Each structure stands twice: as C-alpha cells, then as structure tokens.
Amino acid sequence: MEGVSVSYGTFHALRPLDLTIGHGDFLAILGPSGCGKTTLLRAIGGFQRPTSGRILIDGQDVTALGPEKRPSNTVFQGYGLFPHLNVRQNIGYGLRIAGRGRPDIAREVEHIAALVRLQEYLDRPIDKLSGGQRQRVALARALVMRPKVLLLDEPLAALDLKLRQTMQEELRRIHREIGGTFVFVTHDQSEALSLATRIAVMNEGHLVQIGSPEEIYQRPKSRFVATFLGEANVLAATRRAGHVTLAAGGSFTSRGADGDIAIAVRPEVIKIAPSPGAAGLTLRGRVRDRVYLGSHLRYEIGLADGGRLVAAADTADRRNLPAPGEEITVGWAHDAQVLLDT
C-alpha cells in the first residue's frame, strides 16, 4: 500500500500510510474502536475506495478493482453464510459462481473441509451448527477460492472465551499448512499476540507502529502503544546532560536531548525486594494493594511522587511477600525499560 488514505468530507478515517505485507505473513491490524483498522481492511479487500494512494497485490495495482476481481477473499464477523444452503453448498458456492465443474467443486470442497475439520458436517444445515462450526464454514468458503490474501474482520469476536482460544489454535494450524497471507482485524491484544507474526498498531487513523509481537510488546515506540498492548508503567523523568532522573527517584545515564521524557516498564520485569547490589534501577514505595491472580500476585505500589507502579510477583516464590501498607523496594534491569518517543 502506498500513501493510502480514506476521507469522508472533513473526517479522515484513514490518514495517508504505507504498508507492506509480506507473502506468508499473518498480520494483525490492532487498535481501539474507531481507529481505522476496519477501514484499512475494507480498502485492501476492495469494499472501500481509497481517497488517495494505491493498493498492489503481488505487484498488480488493484486500487480500481472491486472485491470480486481481486485475488483476495474476506471472512466477515457475521459469517455471511446462506441459511438455505447446507455446509457443502455454502463452501462450494464461490466455485459454482466461478463456473467450475461439479467434479472439481466436489474435490475442492472435500479438501478444504478436511483442512478445517468439517468432513462429517458437509450435509448438515447451517442452523444446526454451533458458532465455532459456522466460523469454520465461513473460513472454508473463503479458503476454497485459494486467495492470495485472506482477510478476516474480527472473525472470533462472537465466540466465547474457550471457543475463541480453540479457533485461534485452528487458525494458526491452517496458516502453517497452507502458507498463505492472512490479514485480520482485532481490538483484542491477546488475540493479536497469540496469532500474528506481525502486528500493525493503529490509532486515530494513523499507523503508529508495525513489527513482530515481541518487538511491539517489548519495544513500544510511544506511550499509546505501551499502554494499549498489555499493561505498562509509564514514569515521568527528566534528562540533563545524558543523565536521566525519575520524578519518583532513581537515575541512570542515557544519551539524547535534554528535557522531559518518559520510560515504560512492564509489570512482569519488576522485582519485589531485589537482591542488595543488583544491577539496575531501584525505587522505594508503599504497597497499596495486593491481588492473587493464580499464576502471579499483582501489586499496586505508591511512589514518592504520588504516582503508582504495578508489579507482578510469581506466586511460586514464597519469600516474605509484602502485604498492603508495607514499605518496599522494587527494581528492574536497565535493559528492561524503554524510553518513549512521546
């Protein structure tokens, strides 16, 4: 995509952006409601004509082509299945419209049904299927057309937690087996982290960061990315002559321009009562709250500047874990913190 934007009068749903999606990528477009992620997906699929820029798929300029003429297919959140057709007929519908012969359609439908594990349901009516089975039918109907790009618009949003996790595993397996290019829209951070090979984070129509899940999570470029994807502590600091001082106390060296800055620290990298002399940065605070969450304890700690810090302690570590009201020392390694651009 080159300089693609979408505007409705004075409202800019999508600011001009460049985006390259590699062959075989499983790209998640992630962001809050109204950020432009669905508009971007619709533009890729041909359902939304860009105001400016152009879209290329495998080197072909498809900007002026409708969805039926693009080498892509879309799975919508509402599935869009035909209730009067059974599973077999729904999956093979696109092939029939394309004029493929009956033996060819039957062979392709059987192959895709096996891929999505629907062989035993091929003659079942749509209204006799569970939500997860309907999702598989919608996926099979798109895949049977062998698109170069498969687009998924929040495909798991209507499923309950257990079923959503199962379908995430299925999507990962299918992507590995067919090796295609998948692009999906989601507002669910955990879903993006668990499914995607790359994540594109959007906010207010802008593409603000793109990278691997590890890169986006561990090295966010802005306060928005740090706090939207997972939980992060953002601490105010000032840099003078290469020396950074936190408002809550503590300091370290860092090259860069003088002025007010911020650092981000994930709760899981923070150590409660670190060993004396441990390398890194330490702060003093008082425990405001402690919550047991099974795999870990979530601590809320009040800091000297009136701010707060959230830390996660492993519940397997039974060493004198502090209780609410106690004063404690917390710390983290210098390479576990990130200096934010904004």
How many angstroms separate the CA atoms of 112 and 307, rounded?
55
Q: Where are the alpha helices (DSSP H) in the chain?
A: 37-45, 87-97, 102-115, 131-143, 161-178, 189-195, 213-218, 223-228
pLDDT at res. 23: 93
Would you say the CATH fold of 231-339 matches that of 2-224? no
Domain ranges for the chain: 2-224, 231-339
Which band of pLDDT confidence, cut at 50, 70 and 90, is reported for residue 155? Answer: confident
- The region of weakest confidence among 14-18, 78-82, 323-327 is 78-82
pLDDT at res. 227: 93
Question: What CATH number labels 2-224?
Answer: 3.40.50.300
Question: What CATH number labels 231-339?
Answer: 2.40.50.100
pLDDT at res. 342: 57
Q: What's the average model confidence in pLDDT over 254-280?
A: 87
Are 294 and 315 spatial neighbours (Cβ–Cβ below 8 Å)? Answer: yes
SS3 (DSSP) at 192: helix
Tell me whether residue 44 is exposed, middle or buried, using C-beta atoms within 10 angstroms of its C-beta: 0 to 12, 13 to 18, 19 or more.
buried
How many angstroms separate the CA atoms of 254 and 335, rounded?
12
Q: What's the average model confidence in pLDDT over 87-106?
A: 94
pLDDT at res. 339: 93
Q: What angle do CA 206, 207, 209 make, to 5 degrees?
A: 135
Per-residue pLDDT for 322 more than 90? no
